[in-house]
């Protein structure tokens, strides 16, 4: 890196003198060549934590500045981790704050690994290893326990819609400007539990993104766990409801699209129920034109005239082609002319059925070939893509991208472009996400995908 970032390490401690020497020496022995400082924040411990700290200062090897900040008495009966961590906030000078607890020993390369990934608008979370007092491995962090393949990665963006619930305060790195702007940790939380959810939710509202960095590893010395306080859990529920209320009020528009709309798989009951709840609702249905049973038998929508009639009576529905036959790899081998013929057949069918259809196409399984993409471009289509497929688009092809999946909790976006499936598939179906959808405001304007595309492309 051309410029090494600076770090402020904030250690939250309570009655942890028994491991403090290991913790402080590990921070003293970091292999990072940039600037960093360490604050030990103690919440009125009645052990010899101050003596251990002073003895360490006499023997420390580096030029790193270590500061002890200590509450001499408790003015919150059961202690307050948030209040303890906030002791250091007025004194930090680093560009990034790394939070680590007094029972947690960093590996030697924590800061040098963190420095590879830090950004002004990014919250990072280290991988926690649970160890005994001899630092011998016992178990892996709950976030990695069932996902061993993640442990070998350098950087894992948290892609789902509530990342503030996927990180923990122990091993959390936050840009200094952001933690100061939100006023630090919320001191309404006493004891421990949900306080890290709260601080990360407020960072999320500020527009920060979140990621795991599995190569940044901290060793958490296991101990008997005290259950989080019930009043902290209730406070978090209250804060989360307040957040959702704010989000409802700030949403500007809603766009909803579903994949795999077909005669035998249409979820029309749920679509009508949604429209009853949201009188302004519009929905864009990426629709499978044909169904191939074998090389000789193809069915299409002409076999269900009653359903066609019902669809055409709904001015809140638009139809968009979702493949031609919806099978794996359908487009990867199609030639330019084959794609043009299939486009013409689809347009002829949709026009014959009387559908309100538009030239916006999504390929099943996000698979395209170069020639098929050129054919869609030349036929005047906008192609729905995801960020990976977007890199492969030919010049001049216009694109549409959704910004959210259905399993959301009113995320931090003003214009919601929601994407799901008609069938319940891997958590993305309309039925299994129906209650999430009902959390949306009923008075906000809805848009078809085609309307969004027209706005984006200046039509």
47-78 pLDDT, tens digit per residue, is: 899 999 999 999 988 899 999 999 877 666 66
Work out the pLDDT band at 228, boundaries 50, 70, 90: low
Residues 208 and 257 in one domain: no
For residue range 8-49, list pLDDT tens digits in order: 999 999 888 889 999 999 999 999 999 999 999 998 888 899
Domain boundary among 201, 218, 244: 244
Q: Is residue 394 part of a domain?
A: yes
Q: What is the pLDDT of residue 431?
A: 93
Residues 255 and 234 in one domain: no
Residues 234 and 256 in one domain: no
Residues 6+ apart with CB under 8 A from 4: 32, 33, 34, 35, 115
pLDDT at 296 over 70: no
418 within some domain: yes
The domain that holds 176 is classified in CATH as 3.90.550.10
Measured distance CA(129)–CA(106) in Å, rounded: 10
Is 255 in the same domain as 196? no
- Please tell me whether residues 236 and 337 are part of one structural domain: no
Residues 295 and 408 reside in one and the same domain: yes
Q: What is the pLDDT of residues 90-138, one digit of tens each?
A: 999 999 999 999 999 999 999 999 999 999 999 999 999 888 888 888 8
pLDDT of residue 293: 59
pLDDT in tens, 323-350: 998 877 788 888 999 999 999 999 999 9
Q: What was the pLDDT predicted at 96? A: 98
- 383-410 mean pLDDT: 81
Read off the pLDDT of each residue in 231-236 and give the average, rounded to a whole number: 87
Domain annotation covers residue 86: yes
Residue 227 has pLDDT above 70, yes or no: no
Same domain? For 78 and 222 the reply is yes
Task: Please tell me the predicted confidence (pLDDT) of residue 95.
Answer: 97
Confidence of residue 248 (pLDDT cuts 50, 70, 90): confident
pLDDT, position 459: 47
Are 256 and 196 contained in the same domain? Answer: no
422 by DSSP, 3-state: which? coil
Contact in structure between 90 and 98 (CB atoms under 8 Å): no
Domain that includes residue 387, residue range: 251-456
Which pLDDT band, with edges at 50, 70 and 90, does 292 fall under?
low
Spell out the long-range contacts of 234-243 with Cβ–Cβ below 8 A and sequence spacing 24 or more.
235/188, 235/189, 235/194, 235/198, 236/189, 236/194, 236/197, 236/198, 239/186, 239/198, 239/201, 240/201, 240/409, 243/201, 243/205, 243/410
Inside any domain, residue 1 = no
Same domain, 178 and 75: yes
238 and 284 housed in the same domain: no
Please say if the pLDDT value at position 205 is more than 50: yes
> Are residue 291 and residue 236 in the same domain, yes or no?
no
- pLDDT top residue among 149 and 102: 102
| Boundary-marking domain end, from 244, 264, 284 | 244
Residue 79 gets the label, from left (phi > 0), alpha (psi -120 to 50) or beta, of left
Residue 393, pLDDT > 90, answer: no
Q: From CA 89, how far away is CA 180, in angstroms rounded?
A: 7
Average pLDDT, the chain: 89
Q: What is the pLDDT of residue 2?
A: 41
The Cα-based distances of 66 to 12, 38, 53, 169 in angstroms read 14, 5, 9, 21
In a domain, 270, yes or no: yes
Does residue 405 lie within any of the structural domains? yes
Residue 181: closest CA among 159, 199, 196 = 199
Q: Assess whether 94 and 179 both reside in one domain.
A: yes
Domain CATH number, residue 292: 3.20.20.370
Boundary residue ending a domain (244, 266, 285): 244
For the chain, the domain total comes to: 2
């Amino acid at each position: 890196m051309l410029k090494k970032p600076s770090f402020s390490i904030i250690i939250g401690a309570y009655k942890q003198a028994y491991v403090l020497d290991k913790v402080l020496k590990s921070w003293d022995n970091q292999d990072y060549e940039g600037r960093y400082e360490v604050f030990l924040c103690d919440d009125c411990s009645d052990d010899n934590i101050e003596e251990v700290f002073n003895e360490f200062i006499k023997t420390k090897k580096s030029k790193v500045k270590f500061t002890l900040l200590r509450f001499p008495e408790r003015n919150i009966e059961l202690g307050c981790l948030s209040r303890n961590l906030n002791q250091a906030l007025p004194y930090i000078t680093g560009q990034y704050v790394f939070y680590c607890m007094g029972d947690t020993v960093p590996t030697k390369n924590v800061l040098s690994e963190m420095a590879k990934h830090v950004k002004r608008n990014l919250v990072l979370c280290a991988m926690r290893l649970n160890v005994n007092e001899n630092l011998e491995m016992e178990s892996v962090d709950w976030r990695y326990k069932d996902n061993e393949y993640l442990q070998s990665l350098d950087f894992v963006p948290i892609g789902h819609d509530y990342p503030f619930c996927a990180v923990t305060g122990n091993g959390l790195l936050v840009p200094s400007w952001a933690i100061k702007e939100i006023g630090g940790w919320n001191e309404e939380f006493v004891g421990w539990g949900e306080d890290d959810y709260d601080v990360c939710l407020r960072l999320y509202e500020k527009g920060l993104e979140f990621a795991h960095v599995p190569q940044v590893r901290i060793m958490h010395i296991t101990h008997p766990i005290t259950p989080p306080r019930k009043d902290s859990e209730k406070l978090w529920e209250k804060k989360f409801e307040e957040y959702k209320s704010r989000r409802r009020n700030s949403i500007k528009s809603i766009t909803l699209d579903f994949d795999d709309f077909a005669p035998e798989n249409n979820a029309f009951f749920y679509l009508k129920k949604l429209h009853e709840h949201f009188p302004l609702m519009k929905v864009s249905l990426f629709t499978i034109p044909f169904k191939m049973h074998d090389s000789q038998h193809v069915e299409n929508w002409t076999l269900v005239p009653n359903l066609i009639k019902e669809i055409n009576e709904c001015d809140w529905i638009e139809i968009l082609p979702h493949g031609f036959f919806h099978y794996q790899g359908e487009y990867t081998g199609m030639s330019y002319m084959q794609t043009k013929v299939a486009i013409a057949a689809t347009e002829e069918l949709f026009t014959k059925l009387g559908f309100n259809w538009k030239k916006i196409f999504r390929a099943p399984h996000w698979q395209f070939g170069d020639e098929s993409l050129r054919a869609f471009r030349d036929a005047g289509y906008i192609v729905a893509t995801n960020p990976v497929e977007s890199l492969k688009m030919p010049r001049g092809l216009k694109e549409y991208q959704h910004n959210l999946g259905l399993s959301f909790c009113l995320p931090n976006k003003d214009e919601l472009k929601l994407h799901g499936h008609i069938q319940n598939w891997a958590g993305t179906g309309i039925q299994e996400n129906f209650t999430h959808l009902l959390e949306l405001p009923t008075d906000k304007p809805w848009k078809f995908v085609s309307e969004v595309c027209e706005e984006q492309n200046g039509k």
